[in-house]
Amino acid sequence: MEMKLGMIDYGRGNLRSVINACKVLGHDPTLITKPEELENFTHLIFPGQGAFGDCMDSLHRLGLAKPLQEWIAAGKPYFGICVGYQLLFEASEESPGTAGLGVVAGTVRRFTSNHLKIPHMGWNATVHTKENSPYWVGFDEAPYFYFVHSYYPSEVDPGLVSATCDYGGETFCAAIEQGNLFATQFHPEKSQHAGLKLLDNFFNA
C-alpha cells in the first residue's frame, strides 16, 4: 500500500520545519484539521510546540482528541514530536487539571534540579534501549538530537521506553515505542542527519 502522510495542524505547532524535513525525504505531508480527514492517510505525524493544556484544548475544539486515540489504538503509524509526545500521557504538571490523550500511562513533570538550566535546550546524546527496533536501524548507540523542553514524561512503563537522555544527572525517557507508535521528546526536524534518518526509519518501518 502506498504511504499517505498526514500531519496534525492544531494551530500551534512549528509545522514548516517538519514539513521541510519530510520533503527532503521525498514525502509531502498533508495538513489535517478535521477528524474525517484522518481516513485519507496511512501515516501520521504530530509535531509539537506550545503548552500541554492549550494543545489539548485545540484538539478538543477541532474534534481530533478521540480520533487520535482511536488511530493509535488501531495500531496505525504515529510519530509524536515534543508536545505531540507529551500529550500521549495522562496528565502534565504544566497544565494541572487537564487530561492528556491517556494512551500511555504516566505524568509529564517539570525538571526539578536547581542546578539545571531550564528549559533544556540544545544537543544531547540519546541512548536507544530497544533491541531490534526498526526506528533505530543504522544508528550508533548514543546519537545526538536537539531538545527544547522544560517538562518530560515520568513513571513510563520500562517496556515502552525506546531511548533515554541524561541532562545534568537527571535521566529521563526521551522516546517511546510500541508497535507503530513512536514518539520523541527531542525534535528530529532540528537534528540534521540523525533526525532525517529517524524520520526515514519511521516511514519505512
Q: Quick one: pLDDT at residue 198? A: 98
- Residue pair 7/15 in contact by the 8 Å Cβ criterion: yes
* 191 Rama sector, left if φ>0, alpha if ψ -120 to 50, beta otherwise: alpha
What single-letter DSSP state applies at residue 99?
B
**Residue 174 burial by Cβ neighbours in a 10 Å radius (0-12, 13-18, 19+):** buried
Q: Quick one: pLDDT at residue 89? A: 98
pLDDT grade, residue 144 (50/70/90)?
A: very high
Global confidence as pTM: 0.95
pLDDT tops 70 at residue 155: yes
Q: Quick one: pLDDT at residue 124? A: 97
pLDDT tops 90 at residue 96: yes
Q: Quick one: pLDDT at residue 82? A: 95
Measured between alpha carbons, how far is 1 from 169 in angstroms, rounded to an integer?
A: 45
Residue ranges of domains in the chain: 5-204
Looking up cell 488511530 gives 71
Give the mean model confidence (pLDDT) for residues 146-159: 96
- Residue pair 126/85 in contact by the 8 Å Cβ criterion: no
Query: What fold does the segment set 5-204 form as a domain?
Result: Rossmann fold (3.40.50)
pLDDT tops 80 at residue 14: no
Q: Quick one: pLDDT at residue 13? A: 63
pLDDT digits (tens, 9 = 90+) for 46-85: 997 889 999 999 999 999 999 999 999 999 999 999 999 9
Please name the amino acid found at residue 83: V
Q: Is 36 one of the catalytic residues?
A: no
Q: Is 82 one of the catalytic residues?
A: yes
List 43, 120, 128, 187, catalytic entry = 187
Measured between alpha carbons, how far is 59 from 10 in angstroms, rounded to an integer?
A: 6
pLDDT grade, residue 114 (50/70/90)?
A: confident
pLDDT tops 80 at residue 12: no
List 55, 82, 165, 173, catalytic entry = 82
Q: What pairs with residue 109 in β-bridges?
A: 152
Give the mean model confidence (pLDDT) for residues 145-173: 95
Q: What is the mean pLDDT of the chain?
A: 95
pLDDT tops 80 at residue 182: yes
Q: 3-state DSSP helix/strand/coil percent for the chain, to nearest 5?
A: 30, 30, 40
